[in-house]
């Protein structure tokens, strides 16, 4: 099988570095705004229904984190045009062609964030918190990966 000039051999460590670098170029400020709005709406809805407690707060913070990582990760695989260096352009091109590898980074971030939130704010057990963090991380990975795959297929 013949390799094209775009298929350069990259080691596993280099793939991980490229994935983290591409995620770092995501739109994290808008993602923080979306996360804060989503978390605020979630908290407000629970308060309107008369529910109070740390469990409600942990749920709202978890929703905020989920939206934050989904928007930031999806923006990283989509890329945006602007003033960027040649290095940034190459990283974005790699991210657009490897959306599922990039999706792992925000998914892992969501897992650990959710785990800490649940351990700090609820009385949920460790295994329950791990399970919840895993499926929240899987949701983030699915959203980012699908957005990246669909956008790649449209190009």
- The tens digit of pLDDT for each residue in 62-74 reads 999 999 999 999 9
37 domain residue, yes or no: yes
Only one residue has tokens 């930031």, namely 72
Question: How many angstroms separate the Cα of 140 from the Cα of each of 14, 43, 71, 83, 125?
Answer: 23, 21, 9, 28, 23
90 domain residue, yes or no: yes
138 domain residue, yes or no: yes
Q: Label residue 14 by pLDDT band (50, 70, 90).
A: confident
118 domain residue, yes or no: yes
71 domain residue, yes or no: yes
Write out the residue range of the structural domain in which residue 140 sits.
15-154
| pLDDT above 80 (res 154) | no
Q: What is the pLDDT of residue 9?
A: 67
26 domain residue, yes or no: yes
**112 near 137, Cβ under 8 Å?**
no
Q: Where are the alpha helices (DSSP H) in 25-125?
A: 28-48, 54-78, 86-97, 99-121
Q: What is the pLDDT of residue 97?
A: 87
Domain count, the chain: 1
10 domain residue, yes or no: no
What is the reported pTM? 0.85
What is the tens place of the pLDDT at every residue in 98-149? Answer: 899 999 999 999 999 999 999 998 888 999 999 999 999 999 999 999 999 9
4 domain residue, yes or no: no
In the predicted model, what is the mean pLDDT of the chain? 86
Q: What is the pLDDT of residue 3?
A: 46
């Amino acid at each position: 099988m013949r390799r094209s000039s775009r298929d350069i051999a990259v080691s596993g460590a280099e793939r991980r570095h490229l994935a983290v670098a591409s995620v770092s170029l995501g739109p994290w400020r808008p993602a923080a705004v979306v996360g804060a709005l989503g978390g605020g709406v979630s908290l407000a809805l629970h308060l309107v229904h008369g529910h109070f407690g740390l469990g409600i707060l942990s749920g709202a913070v978890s929703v905020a984190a989920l939206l934050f990582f989904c928007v930031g990760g999806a923006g990283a695989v989509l890329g945006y045009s602007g003033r960027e260096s040649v290095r940034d352009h190459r990283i974005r091109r790699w991210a657009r062609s490897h959306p599922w590898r990039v999706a792992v980074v925000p998914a892992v971030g969501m897992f650990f964030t959710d785990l800490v939130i649940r351990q700090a704010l609820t009385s949920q057990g460790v295994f329950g918190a791990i399970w919840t963090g895993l499926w929240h991380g899987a949701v983030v990975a699915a959203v980012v990966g699908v957005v990246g795959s669909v956008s790649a297929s449209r190009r």
